[in-house]
Amino acid sequence: MSIYGNLKLTSSVELPGGDAIIMVTTTRVIAFSPTRLRLRWDMAFNHVERVIISDNGIKFADKAGRDYDKFVTIADPKAKSWFFQEIEKYVCFTTVSGALINQFFIFIRVINQWNANRRVER
């Protein structure tokens, strides 16, 4: 089964000149060439360390290092701001939910340890 089979598209932006389209799904960012129907790159949100907005575009910093970072050039400030907000919804959700899940499991372990200690004391 393809990794692209169950994606839910949330937003997209066409880069100037029609050379590339950047799509945001609920789990990844995909860049492809519509004229050649070729994938340029894709990045899963769980690989994104941070998303940085700059004067001329948006950078996706990869956890694996600078060599894997991706940059999307968007000159229009309104389009860049809108697209950044769309990306932020899903990158933050992924990061926060992962942190919450880890904290939840730590909390459960603490409660279980506390209950085990109480049973020993009785």
Q: What is the pLDDT of residues 29-67, one digit of tens each?
A: 889 888 888 899 999 888 888 888 888 888 888 888 899
pLDDT at residue number 95: 45
Q: What is the pLDDT of residues 8-34, one digit of tens each?
A: 777 788 887 778 889 888 888 889 888
Kindly list the distances between the CA atom of residue 69 and the CA atoms of 35, 72, 113, 116, in Å, as whole numbers in the listed order: 24, 10, 42, 46
Task: Give the residue carrying structure tokens 């799904």.
Answer: 25
Mean of per-residue pLDDT scores for the chain: 77
CATH numbers and ranges of domains, the chain? 9-121 (2.30.29.30)
* 3-class secondary-structure state, position 23: strand
